[in-house]
Amino acid sequence: MSIRDMSEKDIGVCARIAANSPLKDTYGFTRQGWENRLREAMNDSLSLLYLAEEEGAVAGFAWVHTKGVFLSAPYLRFIAISPAFSGKGLGSMLLDEFESRTRDGGRDFFLLVSDFNSNAIRFYEKHGYEKVGELKDFAVMGVREIIMRKENSRA
């Protein structure tokens, strides 16, 4: 398994992974919508896009905004893993990469996770993230986004 920066040629497969994620129905994800988002992010100097590969196949990706929290702290926008590669530690690799690449970018690391996504909440808690608040009806009516924070030990 390896990590590398996303390129234009990777957008289609990464968009498919995101559009087929368990969140697709709640958030109305489509492949075209994700292709548009990822292309925009590639042109945003504050965004990082990178992916995990296994044997040359894209297995998952992460989208990071380096100053996404009040322009002062790194924000993990999204991690998605292809079901074919689930359970192989790729989520942990992508999360570690987020922290490594943004370690000098702020005092804390932040992310949002949907209140119904209990597996993701447990995953982030296992990696040292704590619930610090919530945003009711922020992205979708009827869903609370849980704000999670991890202290950056090197800041």
Strand 57-69 versus strand 47-54 pairing type: antiparallel
Give residues with Cβ within 8 angstroms of 94, minimum separation 6: 3, 50, 52, 60, 61, 62, 79, 81
Q: Give the number of residues written for the chain.
A: 155
In the chain, which ranges are continuous DSSP H helix?
11-19, 24-27, 31-42, 90-102, 118-126
User: What does DSSP assign to residue 10?
Assistant: G
Local confidence pLDDT in tens for the 155 residues of the chain: 899 999 999 999 999 999 999 999 999 999 999 999 999 999 999 999 999 999 899 999 999 999 988 888 999 999 999 999 988 999 999 999 999 999 998 889 999 999 999 999 999 999 999 999 999 999 999 999 999 999 998 65
Q: What are phi and psi of 148, to 5 degrees?
A: -120, 145
Predicted TM-score (pTM) of this structure: 0.93
